[in-house]
Amino acid sequence: MVVNGSESEPASRKDRTLLRRAPHLVLDGALAVAAAVKARHVTIAVHDSTAAAVVRHAIAERRDCARVRVEAVGGGFVGGEARALRRSLLGGPAVPPGRRVHLTEQGTLLSNVETFAHVAVALRLGAYHFLRSTGTHAEPGTTC
Protein backbone atom coordinates (compact mmCIF):
# COMPACT_ATOMS: atom_id res chain seq x y z
CA MET A 1 0.00 0.00 0.00
CA VAL A 2 1.32 3.45 -0.87
CA VAL A 3 0.54 6.81 0.72
CA ASN A 4 1.21 9.39 -1.99
CA GLY A 5 2.80 12.41 -0.33
CA SER A 6 4.58 13.60 -3.45
CA GLU A 7 2.07 16.19 -4.55
CA SER A 8 3.58 18.36 -7.20
CA GLU A 9 0.70 20.44 -8.41
CA PRO A 10 1.72 24.08 -8.58
CA ALA A 11 0.80 25.92 -5.35
CA SER A 12 -0.57 22.78 -3.68
CA ARG A 13 0.80 22.09 -0.21
CA LYS A 14 -2.05 20.27 1.55
CA ASP A 15 -0.36 16.87 1.74
CA ARG A 16 2.97 18.37 2.75
CA THR A 17 1.23 20.39 5.46
CA LEU A 18 -0.56 17.32 6.81
CA LEU A 19 2.66 15.31 6.87
CA ARG A 20 4.55 18.09 8.63
CA ARG A 21 1.84 19.08 11.14
CA ALA A 22 -0.23 15.94 11.70
CA PRO A 23 1.88 12.90 10.79
CA HIS A 24 0.20 10.69 13.40
CA LEU A 25 -3.20 11.41 11.86
CA VAL A 26 -1.94 10.24 8.46
CA LEU A 27 -0.30 7.19 10.04
CA ASP A 28 -3.52 6.31 11.90
CA GLY A 29 -5.51 6.38 8.67
CA ALA A 30 -2.88 4.48 6.70
CA LEU A 31 -2.57 1.76 9.33
CA ALA A 32 -6.36 1.38 9.55
CA VAL A 33 -6.67 0.99 5.78
CA ALA A 34 -3.66 -1.36 5.67
CA ALA A 35 -5.31 -3.56 8.30
CA ALA A 36 -8.61 -3.54 6.42
CA VAL A 37 -7.03 -4.62 3.12
CA LYS A 38 -4.44 -6.87 4.80
CA ALA A 39 -1.50 -4.97 3.31
CA ARG A 40 1.88 -6.33 4.39
CA HIS A 41 3.73 -3.03 3.96
CA VAL A 42 2.91 0.67 3.93
CA THR A 43 5.14 3.01 1.95
CA ILE A 44 4.83 6.75 2.45
CA ALA A 45 6.32 8.39 -0.63
CA VAL A 46 7.43 12.01 -0.23
CA HIS A 47 9.65 14.41 -2.11
CA ASP A 48 9.81 17.04 0.66
CA SER A 49 12.78 16.34 2.96
CA THR A 50 11.23 18.13 5.95
CA ALA A 51 8.01 16.13 5.67
CA ALA A 52 10.04 12.92 5.35
CA ALA A 53 11.98 13.72 8.52
CA VAL A 54 8.82 14.55 10.48
CA VAL A 55 7.13 11.32 9.39
CA ARG A 56 10.22 9.23 10.21
CA HIS A 57 10.27 10.81 13.67
CA ALA A 58 6.55 10.04 14.15
CA ILE A 59 7.13 6.43 13.09
CA ALA A 60 9.95 6.11 15.62
CA GLU A 61 7.60 7.30 18.38
CA ARG A 62 5.12 4.48 17.74
CA ARG A 63 5.13 0.74 18.30
CA ASP A 64 2.61 -0.04 15.56
CA CYS A 65 4.65 1.17 12.59
CA ALA A 66 7.05 -1.72 12.04
CA ARG A 67 5.70 -2.26 8.53
CA VAL A 68 5.74 1.45 7.58
CA ARG A 69 8.61 3.00 5.65
CA VAL A 70 9.24 6.42 4.16
CA GLU A 71 10.62 6.61 0.63
CA ALA A 72 12.12 9.80 -0.73
CA VAL A 73 11.09 10.27 -4.35
CA GLY A 74 11.90 12.92 -6.90
CA GLY A 75 9.58 15.86 -7.25
CA GLY A 76 7.94 16.96 -10.43
CA PHE A 77 4.40 17.30 -11.64
CA VAL A 78 4.21 14.02 -13.54
CA GLY A 79 6.16 12.09 -10.88
CA GLY A 80 3.33 12.51 -8.37
CA GLU A 81 0.77 10.83 -10.62
CA ALA A 82 -0.17 7.46 -9.07
CA ARG A 83 1.13 5.16 -11.81
CA ALA A 84 4.31 7.22 -12.23
CA LEU A 85 4.91 7.10 -8.49
CA ARG A 86 4.45 3.33 -8.35
CA ARG A 87 6.80 2.91 -11.29
CA SER A 88 9.39 5.12 -9.55
CA LEU A 89 9.12 3.12 -6.32
CA LEU A 90 9.79 -0.04 -8.32
CA GLY A 91 13.00 1.48 -9.71
CA GLY A 92 11.75 2.75 -13.04
CA PRO A 93 11.37 6.24 -14.44
CA ALA A 94 8.85 8.52 -12.71
CA VAL A 95 6.53 8.75 -15.69
CA PRO A 96 3.22 6.97 -16.22
CA PRO A 97 3.38 3.83 -18.34
CA GLY A 98 1.66 4.09 -21.70
CA ARG A 99 -1.18 1.69 -20.90
CA ARG A 100 -3.83 2.81 -18.38
CA VAL A 101 -4.19 0.04 -15.83
CA HIS A 102 -5.72 0.71 -12.44
CA LEU A 103 -3.16 0.03 -9.74
CA THR A 104 -5.46 -2.22 -7.75
CA GLU A 105 -5.33 -4.61 -10.72
CA GLN A 106 -1.60 -4.82 -10.06
CA GLY A 107 -2.03 -5.39 -6.33
CA THR A 108 -1.30 -1.84 -5.17
CA LEU A 109 -3.60 0.39 -3.17
CA LEU A 110 -2.39 3.95 -3.59
CA SER A 111 -4.06 7.14 -2.42
CA ASN A 112 -2.98 10.58 -1.27
CA VAL A 113 -2.12 11.80 2.22
CA GLU A 114 -5.35 13.76 2.59
CA THR A 115 -7.46 10.65 2.01
CA PHE A 116 -5.71 8.72 4.78
CA ALA A 117 -6.03 11.68 7.17
CA HIS A 118 -9.78 11.79 6.43
CA VAL A 119 -10.05 8.05 7.14
CA ALA A 120 -8.48 8.59 10.57
CA VAL A 121 -10.86 11.45 11.40
CA ALA A 122 -13.87 9.45 10.20
CA LEU A 123 -12.83 6.51 12.37
CA ARG A 124 -12.39 8.75 15.41
CA LEU A 125 -15.70 10.60 15.01
CA GLY A 126 -17.80 7.82 13.52
CA ALA A 127 -19.41 8.05 10.11
CA TYR A 128 -22.48 10.03 11.15
CA HIS A 129 -20.59 12.69 13.11
CA PHE A 130 -17.86 12.89 10.48
CA LEU A 131 -20.35 13.64 7.73
CA ARG A 132 -22.42 16.02 9.84
CA SER A 133 -19.45 17.92 11.26
CA THR A 134 -18.16 18.88 7.81
CA GLY A 135 -19.85 20.40 4.81
CA THR A 136 -23.34 21.89 4.87
CA HIS A 137 -26.65 20.41 5.93
CA ALA A 138 -27.69 20.01 2.29
CA GLU A 139 -24.30 18.59 1.27
CA PRO A 140 -22.62 16.92 4.25
CA GLY A 141 -19.10 15.52 4.12
CA THR A 142 -15.89 16.60 2.48
CA THR A 143 -14.71 16.79 -1.08
CA CYS A 144 -12.63 13.61 -0.68
- State pTM to two decimals: 0.82
Q: What DSSP character marks residue 55?
A: H
Q: Over the stretch 57-75, which tens digit does the pLDDT of each residue have? A: 999 999 999 999 999 887 6
- Residue 59: strand, helix, or coil: helix
Domains present along the chain, CATH in parentheses = 2-133 (3.40.50.11540)
Which residue numbers in the chain have pLDDT < 70? 8-11, 75-80, 97-107, 141-144
Convert the pLDDT of each residue in 85-97 to its tens digit: 888 888 887 777 6
- Cβ burial 124-136 (10 Å sphere, 16+ → b, else e): eeeeeebeeebee
